[in-house]
Amino acid sequence: MFVSRGLVVGFTVAMAGLVLSGCGTRMNKAPVEDRGTSTSSAPAQAGQPGVVVGTPIKPLPGAENAGKPGYYTVKPGDTLIRIGLESGQSWKDLARWNNLENANLIEVGQVLRVAPPTAAVAATAVASDNGVVTRPVTSSTVAPASAPATAASAAKPAASAAPGTVVAVAPATPAPAVASAGEDDIAFIWPASGSLIAGFDEARNKGYDISGKAGEPVLAAADGRVVYAGAGLRGYGNLVILKHNNTFLTAYAHNQSLLVKEDQAVRKGQKIAEMGNTDADRVKLHFEIRRQGKPVDPSRYLPAR
């Protein structure tokens, strides 16, 4: 059968057009919607269909005090115990000053008060033959009822307050045995009888490492009050921290057992723990003296051997 060359060419061109038309239809798909990215430069308006208005970020507690003296910004890895050691304060005082309901819940970036409030004492205790009389509170700040009582209130029972009268409890203070005259006038003693195996190095060893055998006594280096007793500070094992006054703390780490409790008053030379190797590579006592939270060389304060 004879077919015209022109007819064949025309048929071929027509078929090619159909194929190209089909390919073009397949390539022009609808764009994929990315619901996680907005391409609009206009700000989201409440009430627009499909628009979710974000909640403003709430500032962390105390953010307005960042950088001020007497305040500390929480860093990754911080705990209230460590912050207390670094600032020379009791972790319980920090919790109270910052109104922390749960001392284990602090956030990176949160700003904490690490110095005592400057407000005057809310009530004045007046000694009388019948005990201690407390005057009504004139300040809006009242210390929690769980705060330790002062020596005066412990000596005699407090008088009953009249109905409707708020009785202020004095804030925690150093143990009564601590002398108030001269913050630096503390005669420290060696807390253990072993030999010195590692001296003070501000960068690598914040105190003294003293040798000994498991179970040997660890002694309070001066009169004070227990502000921490436990194993909640990484690298220190079973730890006791004593507060001696508003200037000095001492720390006793790696103990086998602890013989004192928090808020307990202790005397210089009292056995407060037994030496051990918790969180350490050998039996030893790691001993620190901290002045206003900063580690200092114990040789400046301990008697020569």
From first to last of the 305 residues of the chain, give the pLDDT tens digit: 444 555 444 555 455 444 444 444 444 433 333 333 444 444 444 444 444 555 566 778 888 999 999 999 999 999 999 999 999 999 999 999 999 989 889 999 999 999 998 743 333 333 333 343 333 333 333 333 333 333 333 333 333 333 333 333 334 434 444 434 456 789 999 999 999 999 999 889 999 999 999 999 999 999 999 999 999 999 999 999 999 999 999 999 999 999 999 999 999 999 999 999 999 999 999 999 999 999 999 999 999 98
Supply the DSSP symbol for 205.
Answer: B
Which residue in this structure is represented by tokens 């061109």?
A: 13
> Which pair of tokens denotes residue 134?
């407390």
Task: State how far the alpha carbon of 54 is from the alpha carbons of 43, 44, 151, 194, in Å.
Answer: 11, 9, 54, 62
Fold annotation for 196-300: Glucose Permease (Domain IIA) (2.70.70)
Cβ count within 10 A of residue 36: 5
Say what the pLDDT of residue 58 is: 74
User: For residues 90 and 245, what is the distance between their CA atoms, to the nearest angstrom?
Assistant: 11
Q: Which residues, including other chains, have CB under 8 Å from residue 144's CB and lie 6 or more apart?
A: 96, 169
For the chain, give every domain's residue range.
63-113, 196-300
Residue type, 117: P
Task: State how far the alpha carbon of 18 is from the alpha carbons of 15, 25, 27, in Å.
Answer: 5, 11, 15
Do the first three CATH levels of 63-113 and 196-300 match, i.e. the same topology? no
At 11, phi and psi to the nearest 5?
-65, -40
> Which pair of tokens denotes residue 48?
């627009």
Record the pTM. 0.61
CATH class entry, domain 63-113: alpha beta
Say what the pLDDT of residue 53 is: 55
